[in-house]
Chains A and B, each alone.
Chain A
């Protein structure tokens, strides 16, 4: 709790601000069941251009938090804002990449990547970028394939390109690389980092992979479930590119594992 407050004070010029957010899901009979508290008093600030990852066991409200920032759901209490403007609805300003690629099956790979440009009515001016993003994810030769021709990993790369082509101010990633094989995954981590540096996109990154979180992020947010709360926020100050086998890396890894183990024990005591 102390750590949280200092976090809020630290980043007054923050790009993304989540303040005392609480989210309850109402049960079907209209009453509020105790188990339906998804987030409780969550506060988090992400500075413009920062890359923050969120780790935590399933059910800790990570996805709910991302959906809230995307504007797809609204908090029961508290405030979510970008800069000075509170978030009320989804916008192309905040891209979201889901666990499931959710490609539109009726569109080819190229048209899926173009979707954001079409939706914003800027396809004509920005058509050149489509090729650039297809090259980025290495799918030029699949431009005219339909999504059911793609493997899970390829589909997720298309989905990433589709979100990035809008150059969102904040990119929300809900375990985007979870479906990729280990090598593609590491390559994609570097690609995401390259993009992050090139465009200065603020990124909020949910992952189950602690190595991925340490490798990529400026800060790691550790959450606990039922109700979803922020347990600890750990800054990662090692210079990039980070060596996955360096002593600092491994030490941080051990530290996070310990915290999460502790988090698990406190859960069972509830």
Chain B
């Protein structure tokens, strides 16, 4: 059965490349639900192993009084066992587990390895490298301040990012469409744009009325450059034949810009949005560290000032979750907006 499906996929490959749509049902058939051991074993085994390390390997370093780490591992173990029991009956759970469980298992294993390196053998010494329990205890005990910091970062990031994107779309379309704007705007963009937004911090602190204001401006600036650049190139590279067709259909300039050039440039614009998101994270953290007295960036440097490295790592974990969630949201938006080119470009 498996090999037969493989052959079908192989034979239809030339057809599929010409018409991407038809590959999708075939591909869905080509990855059937099979019961592989790593699907149901990975998480329970890794969690059980980690628990064993936590309880039975002697510790060289003092642990906090708390028990968040073993509770976390027990929850993982329980969930892993529950999943292993249920997945043969639930197709969606099965698909999800087939995809995620190996990764989750390795992640839990990595945390166990970290405990071995720190608390157990002290290869990485305190106070710079606390074990998993230390980090979890720091997150839980400082949760109010961490939540507040995350909230402030979110507000700052969203306001800076959206201002930057709006301005960038206007400048990008203008530079991409109008030859005069291109002539004057492009050199400016090429010279000023590559300066990292963080390099403007001294100027921003002097010019702007408040640190928050300057941080929003810096994040906006960080987003503005890549989005403008890619929007402009997307607009100016619009296939001439699309514009020709639209003209013979009676399109005026508004239609050509908003209904032809901008949709045609959308794949490019999204690349700019992703690049801008990356630079905006960076700028956000730096701006919070030097100017604004709130947010995750500030929290990290503050905790480091007190040599509370558990809190530093805690904040890093929160940041990872925070930034990757925002990234995922943007991916979802992209999939929704660019549904028309699904299967053409994947990244």
Contact = CB atoms under 8 A, between A and B. Distances in A.
A119 B255 contact: yes
A116 B250 contact: yes
A105 B246 CA distance: 13
B247 A118 contact: no
Interface in A147-181: 147-149, 151, 162-163, 166
A100 B255 CA distance: 21
Interface residues of B, number: 26
Interface in B208-262: 239, 241-242, 244-252, 255, 259-260
Interface string B326-341: 0000000000000111
A148 B339 CA distance: 11
Contacts of A89: 247
A96 interface: yes
A118 to B, nearest CB: 7
B266 A106 contact: yes
Contacts of A147: 340
Interface in A123-150: 146-149
Contact of B343 (A90, A98, A107, A148): A148
Contact of A148 (B21, B241, B245): B21
Given A118-B255, A151-B19, A91 B340 contact: no
Interface in B2-54: 19-21
Contacts of B19: 148-149, 151
Given A104-B260, A148-B341, A92 B241 contact: no
Interface residues of A, number: 31
A166 B249 contact: yes
A265 interface: no
A96 B340 contact: no
A71 B239 CA distance: 18
Given A96-B244, A104-B263, A163 B340 contact: no
A90 B260 contact: no
Interface in A42-75: 67, 70-72
A244 B266 CA distance: 48
Given A104-B242, A151-B19, A72 B250 contact: no
A149 B344 CA distance: 11
16 contacts: A94-B248, A96-B248, A98-B245, A100-B241, A102-B241, A104-B245, A105-B341, A106-B266, A107-B340, A115-B259, A119-B259, A120-B249, A148-B20, A148-B340, A148-B341, A162-B249
Interface of B: 19-21, 239, 241-242, 244-252, 255, 259-260, 263-264, 266, 339-341, 343-344
